[in-house]
């Protein structure tokens, strides 16, 4: 895989993806630790059953290229939103360095957006670390705008996550 990557598939992950998904998530936490709310040390302790549960979730999407996972993203509702909220959320987005510069990231966001619309959502939200300007620039290019709301990480208050939204 390289920046010229043009052939890939975006699909919901399957329970059989659990080991590759684990490896990709751990790669993400080493590659860009400031981007996530969890740490490599925390996630490395997950059991195979926890990984199987994540992989079998219909809200975990993966990019597959050349038989390997090249990216991942998750969709969902935020437990802090009121039940009637029509906002849906993008979490855990990651594209392996070998697939950056391709259309993989945009296709993952589009897949989560499609799920969001089908679930009754009218906007897609996310939190992006202010310490990862590359990610924020990608989201802005993808139509997300800053809402003005930000939160500090629970265990690392110096790590600030900025909320962004995109109408669906």
Summarised one tens digit per residue, pLDDT across range 51-109 is 999 999 999 999 999 999 999 999 999 988 999 999 999 999 999 998 998 999 999 99
Token representation of residue 129? 């670390």
Pick the CATH number of 9-167 from 3.40.50.1100, 3.30.70.2740, 3.20.20.70, 3.40.630.30: 3.40.630.30
Banded model confidence at residue 153, pLDDT cuts 50, 70, 90: confident
- Beta pairing partners, 98: none
If one counts every other C-beta atom within 10 angstroms of the C-beta of residue 3, the result is 10
Q: What is the pLDDT of residue 2?
A: 43
* Residue of 152, 105, 101, 110 lying closest to 127 (CA atoms): 152
Q: What is the pLDDT of residue 41?
A: 95
Q: What is the pLDDT of residue 154?
A: 83
155, pLDDT greater than 90: no
With 0-12 / 13-18 / 19 or more C-beta atoms within 10 angstroms meaning exposed / middle / buried, residue 120 is: exposed
Mean pLDDT, residues 118-144 taken together: 96
The answer to whether 112 touches 90, Cβ cutoff 8 Å, is: yes
Q: What is the pLDDT of residue 4?
A: 56
99 vs 2: CA distance, rounded Å: 5
pLDDT tens, position by position, 4-61: 577 999 999 999 999 999 999 999 999 999 999 899 999 999 999 999 999 999 999 9
Q: Please report, for residues 45, 115, 116, 124, 125, the alpha-carbon distance to residue 74 in angstroms, rounded to integers and kept in the order given.
A: 20, 10, 11, 12, 12
- Say what the pTM is: 0.93
Q: What is the pLDDT of residue 3?
A: 45
């Amino acid at each position: 895989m390289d920046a010229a990557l043009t052939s890939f598939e975006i699909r919901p992950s399957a329970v059989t993806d659990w080991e590759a998904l684990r490896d990709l998530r751990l790669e993400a936490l080493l590659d860009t630790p400031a981007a996530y709310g969890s740490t490599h040390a925390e996630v490395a302790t997950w059991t195979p059953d926890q990984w199987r549960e994540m992989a079998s979730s219909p809200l975990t999407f993966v990019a597959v290229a050349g038989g390997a996972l090249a990216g991942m993203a998750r969709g969902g509702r935020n437990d802090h939103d009121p039940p009637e909220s029509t906002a849906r959320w993008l979490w855990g987005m990651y594209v392996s360095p070998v697939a950056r510069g391709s259309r993989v990231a945009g296709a993952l966001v589009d897949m989560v957006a499609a799920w969001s619309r089908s679930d009754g959502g009218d906007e897609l939200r996310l939190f992006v670390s202010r310490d990862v300007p590359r990610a924020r620039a990608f989201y802005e290019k993808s139509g997300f705008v800053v809402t003005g709301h930000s939160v500090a990480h629970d265990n690392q208050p110096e790590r600030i996550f900025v909320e962004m939204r995109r109408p669906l």
